[in-house]
């Protein structure tokens, strides 16, 4: 069951002192979607989102633990808030997510002014923990060891009126030696297909045009359904993609991330045969060296990876394929690194998320010998960047002259005084900055235009817009409405009493 509501950002009862919140997010798409749930929970409990640029009564950090700089960034930001917290004891700070799950009591040791620490498995506890900390004036720490309820049952205040994340699973059953995620998010648990499709339909009913199906390993979907009475189904992900194709009004479907070891041809066939599944694929490589892939416990090899890429391009010729690559894994030799460069050159990725290996305590790779000097890793990283930048630019140049359909986006703009460009995403995921020609085009609308110029990370379309379709998503964005999904938990309102009457503060001198 999925309950829905649509709220404007400014909806607060007149004359009522409402405590405000801000959620700061680090990390992957999973964390971004979790932050939407945190926002939904807080709004359901009576809090209001703080206006941009204003201090919030409650600041929530939704953290990542994949890379070392995430730790440093969190504790640096907590330090910046310490003076404000000292001057306003009613302000509250909460830390959740993967780093909170990993560090637990360490958070309070390093930042004793934090009020609440909660883990990846119990984000639904945040409003109660905040209220308890406020009344008892004692920090609250709650770290559940296992999933308590599927997160999609929680209220979610969506960030976008036109595009939405939809979780199909949580957790991961892989044992990659560099990755701490399975230890923090647990074993894979999949949602029932009917629940996923109901959520997608609810979003589309509110005007959403694009959904991205989320999972740590989406093509393992069907391994472990949340409902034990639903049997394992290895073809479940391909079936889910085809089912999304039958939802009227759903114009774009994306997914992330698959795993090369389990990526099967039925998924490729479903992608090619389902019109609203976008011609794009994010396929993490990590390394092009078979020796390093084995040390990473990535159960595929370079030729298998390249075979998948070839089959996808045979079925979907204009597919834009992106990837993740780690440079400097322990023991990586120059020969190993050259193998990665060779695969990158053959695969011709549209773009790549590239990372210098980061040693994470608690992972098997952290205990491996032959940890590489930072200067060696940095030099290799720059060579990889140079190669991929050139490939991305070459691949983007091939788009010049092509007509593209864009879902106009907010927050990705490249405006200037001369062109007043807007931005949008093509169906293959490429970012396009286009000349709106003075037309009233809103985020969430659909336009078609022609690419006139290319850069490594974006395209430019400075010709006239060929078509412009106004959409319900554009209407919602213009009105400041955000889709809300999730089942209400029946929680008491926290932070703001219900409004019983409208008070004229000009005569009564309300203290807000």
Task: Calculate the dihedral angle through the C-alpha atoms of 463, 464, 466, 472, rounding to the nearest 10 degrees.
Answer: 110
Calculate the CA 308 to chain-centre distance: 25
The answer to whether 108 and 95 have CB atoms below 8 angstroms apart is no
Degrees (nearest 5) of the Cα angle 425, 252, 323? 60
Q: How far apart are CA 360 and CA 181, in angstroms?
A: 11
Annotated ligand binding at 278? The verdict is no
| Pairing status of strand 169-170 against strand 20-25 | unpaired
The structure tokens 């053959």 sit at 346
The answer to whether 204 and 188 have CB atoms below 8 angstroms apart is no
Cis status of the peptide bond prior to 257, with omega within 30 of 0? yes
Smallest Cα–Cα separation from 258: which of 186, 332, 202, 309? 309
Q: Of all helices (H) and strands (E), which one includes residue 256?
A: strand 252-256
Annotated ligand binding at 28? The verdict is yes
Q: How far apart are CA 127 and CA 211, in angstroms?
A: 28
Helix (H/G/I), strand (E/B), else coil: 450:
strand
Beta strands in 277-334 (DSSP E): 280-282, 320-327
Backbone φ, ψ for residue 412 (5° rounding) = -120, 20
Annotated ligand binding at 510? The verdict is no
Q: How far apart are CA 313 and CA 166, in angstroms?
A: 26
Q: How far apart are CA 124 and CA 54, in angstroms?
A: 26
Q: Enumerate the H helices of 210-264 as residue ranges.
A: 236-244
Smallest Cα–Cα separation from 30: which of 223, 174, 172? 172
Q: How far apart are CA 503 and CA 499, in angstroms?
A: 10
Beta partners for residue 354, in sequence order: 325
Smallest Cα–Cα separation from 412: which of 162, 206, 208? 162
Q: How far apart are CA 194 and CA 216, in angstroms?
A: 20
Smallest Cα–Cα separation from 210: which of 153, 278, 152? 278
Annotated ligand binding at 179? The verdict is yes
| Exposed e or buried b per residue across 340-379, where buried means at least 16 C-beta atoms within 10 angstroms of its C-beta | bbebbeebebbbbeebebbebeebebeeeeebbeeeebee
Smallest Cα–Cα separation from 12: which of 21, 3, 4? 21
- Judging by beta carbons within 10 Å of its beta carbon (0-12, 13-18, 19+), is residue 230 exposed, middle or buried? middle
Annotated binding site for [4Fe-4S] cluster: 28, 64, 98, 172, 176, 179
Q: Residues marked as binding?
A: 28, 64, 98, 172, 176, 179
């Amino acid at each position: 069951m999925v309950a829905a509501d649509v709220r404007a950002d400014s909806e607060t009862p007149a004359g009522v002192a409402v405590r405000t919140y801000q959620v700061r997010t680090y990390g992957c798409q999973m964390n971004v979607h979790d932050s939407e749930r945190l926002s939904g929970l807080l709004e359901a409990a009576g809090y209001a989102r703080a206006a941009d640029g204003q201090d919030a009564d409650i600041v929530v950090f939704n953290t990542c633990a994949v890379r070392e700089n995430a730790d440093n960034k969190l504790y640096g930001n907590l330090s910046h808030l310490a003076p404000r917290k000292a001057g306003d004891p009613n302000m509250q700070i909460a830390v959740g997510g993967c780093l909170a799950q990993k560090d637990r009591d360490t958070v309070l040791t390093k930042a004793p002014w934090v009020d609440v620490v909660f883990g990846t498995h119990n984000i639904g506890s945040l409003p109660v923990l905040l209220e308890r900390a406020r009344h008892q004036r004692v920090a609250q720490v709650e770290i559940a060891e296992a999933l308590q309820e599927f997160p999609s049952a929680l209220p979610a205040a969506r960030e976008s009126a036109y595009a939405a994340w939809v979780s199909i699973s949580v957790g991961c059953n892989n044992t990659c030696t560099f990755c701490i995620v399975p230890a923090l998010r647990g074993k894979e648990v999949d949602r029932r297909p009917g629940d996923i499709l109901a959520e997608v339909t609810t979003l589309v009913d509110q005007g959403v045009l694009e959904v991205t199906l989320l999972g740590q390993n989406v093509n393992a979907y069907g391994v472990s359904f949340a409902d034990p009475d639903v049997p394992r189904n290895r073809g479940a992900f391909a079936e889910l993609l085809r089912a999304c194709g039958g939802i009227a009004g759903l114009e774009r479907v994306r997914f992330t991330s698959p795993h090369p070891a389990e990526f099967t041809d039925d998924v490729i066939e479903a992608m090619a045969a389902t019109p609203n599944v976008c011609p794009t694929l994010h396929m993490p490589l990590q390394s092009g060296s078979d020796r390093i892939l084995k040390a990473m416990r990535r159960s595929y090899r370079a030729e298998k990876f390249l075979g998948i890429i070839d089959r996808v391009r045979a079925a979907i010729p204009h597919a834009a394929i992106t990837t993740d690559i780690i440079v400097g894994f322990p023991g990586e030799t120059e020969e190993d690194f050259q193998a990665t460069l060779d695969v990158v050159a053959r695969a011709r990725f549209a773009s790549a998320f590239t990372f210098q290996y980061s040693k994470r305590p608690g992972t098997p790779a952290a205990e491996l010998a032959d940890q590489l000097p930072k200067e060696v890793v940095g030099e290799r990283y720059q060579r990889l960047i140079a190669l991929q930048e050139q490939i991305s630019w070459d691949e983007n140049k091939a788009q010049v002259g092509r007509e593209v359909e864009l879902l106009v986006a907010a927050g990705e703009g490249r405006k200037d005084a001369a062109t007043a460009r807007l931005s949008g995403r093509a169906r293959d995921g490429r970012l396009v900055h286009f000349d709106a020609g003075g037309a009233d085009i809103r985020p969430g609308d659909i336009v078609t235009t022609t690419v006139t110029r290319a850069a490594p990370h974006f395209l430019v379309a400075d010709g006239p817009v060929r078509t412009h379709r106004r959409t319900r998503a554009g209407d919602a964005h213009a009105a400041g409405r955000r889709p809300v999904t999730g089942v209400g938990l029946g929680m008491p309102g926290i932070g703001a009493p219900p409004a019983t009457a409208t008070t004229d503060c000009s005569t009564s001198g309300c203290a807000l």
